[in-house]
Amino acid sequence: MTNAALDTDLRDLYQDLILDHGKHPRNFRIAKNANHEALGHNPLCGDRLMLYVTVDDDNVVQDVAFQGSGCAISMASASMMTDMLKGKTLAEVGALFDYMHGACTGETVTPAGLAEDDVDRIKALAGVRHYPMRVKCATLAWHTLQAALKNEKKVSTE
């Protein structure tokens, strides 16, 4: 199978996953005991989400949750991100963010050391780079995550 064919299969497969996460977001709740939180806003599309992150003393993410409203891509991306981050160290979270950001802007190099499953899911989300208007929808949760971890309370994609 060629790489292109494999990519298409992967895209079809993850299309379903993205639609499912968009319709039934995981970790969609308020986390009262979170020690990091931020509000993310994408004025271009109207996506808005509140992200709650709980990091323990060993810099491991114990819990991630979000609430908000927006288009299916923004909700699916947030849902998939929260699924990915639990149990990760902050260093691993940083590597995933860098990869997501790069993948959405056309970077094709996959960094070493990431879990294969996470790489596949990020590749699927990064399919939005073919639709420039949607990139900010897909990256909103990730920018909100960065803001929360830096203890910035608010972030806008503009």
Taking CB under 5 A as the rule, does residue 76 contact Zn ion? no
For residues 21 and 36, which CB has a smaller minimum distance to Zn ion in the complex? 21
The helix (run of H) or strand (run of E) holding residue 124 is helix 116-125
Specify the DSSP class assigned to residue 112. Answer: T
3-class state of residue 133 by DSSP: helix
Q: Of the candidates 47, 63, 92, 118, which one interacts with Zn ion according to CB under 5 A?
A: 47
Beta strand pairing call for 47-55 and 61-69: antiparallel
139 interacts with Zn ion by CB under 5 A: no
The answer to whether 137 contacts Zn ion (rule: CB under 5 A) is yes
Q: How far is CA 59 from CA 27, 37, 68, 69, 82, in A?
A: 20, 16, 26, 29, 16
Minimum gap (Å) between residue 133 Cβ and Zn ion? 9
Please report whether residue 74 would count as binding Zn ion according to CB under 5 A.
yes
Residue 144 makes contact with Zn ion by CB under 5 A: no
> Can you read off the two tokens belonging to residue 50?
């509140």
Cβ nearer to Zn ion, comparing 51 with 137: 137
User: Does 45 engage in binding with Zn ion (CB under 5 A)?
Assistant: yes
| Residues near Zn ion (CB under 5 A) | 45, 47, 71, 74, 137
